Amino acid sequence: MEYLIGIQGPDFVLVAADTIAANSIIQMKHDHDKMFKLSEKILMLCVGEAGDTVQFAEYIQKNVQLYKMRNGEEELCITVTVAEAWLVGWCLCGLKICNPNGLFASETGVSFLALGKRGVKEGIWKGVLCRARVTDYVFWCVCTDLTRDEAVELLKKCLEELKKRFILSLPSFNVRLIDKDGIKDLEKLPLAAA
């Protein structure tokens, strides 16, 4: 059971993913990084079936590198065919080199659970909670005029709501910010100590 969040601002993207790697009911690893760097400014977050996530993400990573080697520049608009065999929900976000941000989310079998979120100002943003499989959640939203600090505050509110309603305890999240200068690690967000 995993969780990914992406928030797109006017000139940046803020993403967070939980850091638990689990095997049925046992947490095997508490500092697992679910974000895969595809290029200097493109990050892919993957959740889903155990081996599939890593294999799929590394496949895409290596092919992007190969393309760069062959063609001398990166693919600006990455479109990926998600084959049905891959049970992976992923969130692809990053800066296109000359264009404004793109934040894409795509899952096989998406069902839109909720539009909007309690407790955050209406009218400024529009968020969508997608359910990739019964147990994995991907949340992404597009905001028109959010500053970086407001985005981090929004993220913290999302995580508090998660702590309140999600059936599992997800103690820590990796947070990264992508803007025209590249990918930056922000501090890990622990949910408030119980």
Partner 1 sequence: MALLEVCGYRDGDRSAGPFGTRGTVMDRSSHFSFGMKTAEFAVPVGVDPQAFLSPYTAGEGDVRIHLNHGTTTLAFKFQHGVVVAVDSRASAGNYIASKDANKVIEINPYLLGTMSGSAADCQYWERLLAKECRLFKLRNKERISVCAASKLLSNMMCEYRGMGLSMGSMICGWDKQGPGLYYVDDNGTRLSGQLFSTGCGSSYAYGVVDSGYRYDLSMEEAYDLGRRAIAHATHRDAYSGGVVNLYHMRQDGWIKICKDDVAELIHQYALESK
Residue with Cβ nearer partner 1 (20 or 155): 20
- Site for partner 1, residues 29 to 48, rule: CB under 8 A: 29, 32
* Residue 71 binding partner 1, by CB under 8 A: yes
Choices 68-76, 89-97, 108-116, 181-189 (CB under 8 A): range interacting with partner 1: 68-76
For 85, the enclosing helix (H) or strand (E) is: none
* Residue 21 binding partner 1, by CB under 8 A: yes
SS3 (DSSP) at 165:
helix
What are the b/e assignments for 107-137, b being 16+ CB within 10 Å?
A: beeeeeeeeebeebeeeebebbbbbbbeebb
Closest alpha carbon to 47 in 91, 105, 109, 103: 91
* Residue 23 binding partner 1, by CB under 8 A: yes
User: Nearest approach, Cβ of 110 to partner 1 (angstroms)?
Assistant: 20
How far is it, in rounded angstroms, from Cα 156 to Cα 144? 19
Choices 23-31, 96-104, 138-146, 164-172 (CB under 8 A): range interacting with partner 1: 23-31
How far is it, in rounded angstroms, from Cα 5 to Cα 163? 14
* Residue 75 binding partner 1, by CB under 8 A: yes
Residue with Cβ nearer partner 1 (21 or 110): 21
Is residue 69 within 8 A of residue 125, CB to CB? The reply is no
Q: Which residues bind partner 1 (CB under 8 A)?
A: 21, 23, 26, 28-29, 32, 49-52, 54-55, 59, 63-64, 66-67, 70-71, 75, 78-81, 83, 85
